[in-house]
Amino acid sequence: MFADDTPCHPARRGSDQPVDQGSSFRSDRAPSPFPDRVVRPARRYSPQRLRRSVSERLAEALFALAGGHGAVLIHRETPWASITFSGSRHHLVLSFAGIEAIEPGERFIAALPDHEFNLPGQLVAEAQLVEVEHVLLPQPTMRVSVELLLLDDEG
């Protein structure tokens, strides 16, 4: 609104000029209940790709190493630094539920220490198994605790 209480839109100021419908005006639309407003189609935005965090990329890499089995129950990330390097330490607990997930879980345990991870901007300096817990009832489940040390790759 202007200081004289007239609306900002030229069509609402009592102008004798017709309202510009723009090139996107389609006559197959129902008439607008507000004839003094310009009708334009809604903008379509392309979905932006969200940046995944290091934690998310690490969880996905572990899930792939486990052959698509298992679920991350706990994931804690703590900053880590030494005199020459910086990065983060990750503690994860994965659950392999069901008889069909136990064998891929055991392959995961065997492959983890020597696996070459491909995490952009990160180097996996250490990947170790901390604990394995087996439960048989009500269904076979294996919980695996792992710790990984990721260093920032600045090169």
Q: CATH number of the domain at 60, please.
A: 3.30.2000.30
Q: What is the pLDDT of residue 111?
A: 95
What element of type H or E holds 105?
A: helix 99-111
Asked if residue 71 and residue 36 are part of one domain, the reply reads no
Q: ω into residue 33 within 30 of 0, thus cis?
A: no
> Which amino acid does the sequence have at 154?
E
Q: Which domain holds residue 79?
A: 54-152
User: How many domains in the chain?
Assistant: 2
Tokens representing 119?
């995490």
Tokens 């492959």 belong to residue = 111
Entry pTM: 0.65
Q: Quick one: the chain helix, strand, coil %, rounded to 5?
A: 20, 30, 50
Asked if residue 117 and residue 79 are part of one domain, the reply reads yes
Q: Are 113 and 128 in contact (CB under 8 A)?
A: yes
Whether 15 is in a domain gets the answer: yes
Q: Are 93 and 144 in contact (CB under 8 A)?
A: yes
| Nearest one of 115, 117, 116, 147 to 131, comparing CA atoms | 147
Asked if residue 86 and residue 138 are part of one domain, the reply reads yes
Asked if residue 67 and residue 105 are part of one domain, the reply reads yes
Whether 49 is in a domain gets the answer: no
Q: What is the pLDDT along the chain (155 residues), one digit of tens a residue?
A: 445 554 554 444 454 555 455 444 455 555 656 566 555 555 555 555 567 788 999 999 999 999 999 999 999 999 999 999 999 999 999 999 999 999 999 999 999 999 999 998 899 999 999 999 999 989 999 999 999 999 998 75
Q: What is the pLDDT of residue 2?
A: 47
Q: What is the pLDDT of residue 32?
A: 56
* CA triple 142-145-148, angle to 5 deg: 145
Distance CA 37, CA 79 (A): 54
Asked if residue 85 and residue 129 are part of one domain, the reply reads yes
Phi, psi (degrees; rounded to nearest 5) at 51: -80, 130
Asked if residue 148 and residue 87 are part of one domain, the reply reads yes
Q: What is the pLDDT of residue 78?
A: 95
